[in-house]
Amino acid sequence: MTLTTEDQARQLRILLADRLEATGHLPDPEWRRAFEAVPRHAFVPKFWTLVDGHMRQITAGDPEWLETAYQDSALATQLTDGVATSSSTAPSLMLDMLHALDVADGMRVLEIATGTGYNAALLAERLGSGNVVTVEVDPDLAWLAEVRLHTCGYAPTVLAGDGRAGQAGAPFDRLIATCGFSRVPRAWLGQVRPGGVIVCPVGWGIVRLIVSGDGATEGRFLPTGSYFMAVRDAGATGTATHPGRPNGAEQRLVTLDLGAVAGDERFRFLISLVAPNISLSTERDETGVFTAVELWAADGSWARVEHGTAWQAGPRRLWDVVETAHEVYEQHGRPGRERFGMTVTPDIQEVWLDSPDGPCWVLSS
Ligand X SMILES: C[S@@+](CC[C@H](N)C(=O)[O-])C[C@H]1O[C@@H](n2cnc3c(N)ncnc32)[C@H](O)[C@@H]1O
Active site residues: 86
CB of 158 or CB of 310, closer to ligand X: 158
Could you tell me the smallest distance in angstroms from the CB atom of residue 232 to ligand X?
4
The residues pairing with 160 across neighbouring beta strands, listed in sequence order, are 136
Our finding on whether 31 is near ligand X (CB under 6 A) is no
Strand pairing category for 157-160 and 172-177: unpaired
Our finding on whether 87 is near ligand X (CB under 6 A) is yes
CB of 208 or CB of 304, closer to ligand X: 208
Could you tell me the smallest distance in angstroms from the CB atom of residue 31 to ligand X?
14
Mark residues 40-79: x for contact with ligand X by CB under 6 A, - for none. Answer: ----------------------------------------
Binders of ligand X among residues 139 to 178 (CB under 6 A) are 141, 162-164, 178
CB of 35 or CB of 361, closer to ligand X: 35
Judged by CB under 6 A, the number of residues near ligand X is 25
Our finding on whether 88 is near ligand X (CB under 6 A) is yes
Could you tell me the smallest distance in angstroms from the CB atom of residue 73 to ligand X?
13
Q: Binding residue for ligand X (CB under 6 A) from 35, 89, 103, 335?
A: 89
CB of 45 or CB of 263, closer to ligand X: 45
Q: Binding residue for ligand X (CB under 6 A) from 31, 39, 41, 86?
A: 86
Q: Give the DSSP per-residue string, 297-355.
A: ETTS-EEEEETTEEEEESSS-HHHHHHHHHHHHHHTT---GGGEEEEE-SS-EEEEESS
Instruction: Name the closest residue to ligand X (Cβ).
Output: 115
The beta-strand segments (E) located in 141-267 are 157-160, 172-177, 192-202, 205-210, 217-221, 250-253
CB of 118 or CB of 311, closer to ligand X: 118
HEC secondary structure over 102-168 = CCCCCCCEEEECCCCCHHHHHHHHHHCHHHEEEEECCHHHHHHHHHHHHHCCCCCEEEECCHHHCCC
Mark residues 210-249: x for contact with ligand X by CB under 6 A, - for none. Answer: ------------------xx-xx-----------------
Q: What's at 7, amino acid-wise?
A: D
CB of 277 or CB of 343, closer to ligand X: 277
Q: Of the candidates 71, 64, 123, 57, which has an alpha carbon nearest to the alpha carbon of residue 95?
A: 123
Mark residues 100-139: x for contact with ligand X by CB under 6 A, - for none. Answer: ------------xx-xx-xx---------------xxxx-
How far is it, in rounded angstroms, from Cα 86 to Cα 143? Answer: 14
Contact 82, 107 (CB under 8 A): no
Q: Compute CA distances 137 → 30, 40, 131, 235, whole Å.
A: 30, 21, 20, 9
Could you tell me the smallest distance in angstroms from the CB atom of residue 337 to ligand X?
19
Alpha-carbon dihedral sign for residues 102, 344, 337, 229:
positive
How far is it, in rounded angstroms, from Cα 110 to Cα 38? Answer: 19
Could you tell me the smallest distance in angstroms from the CB atom of residue 170 to ligand X?
16
Contacts to ligand X by CB under 6 A: 85-89, 112-113, 115-116, 118-119, 135-138, 141, 162-164, 178-179, 228-229, 231-232
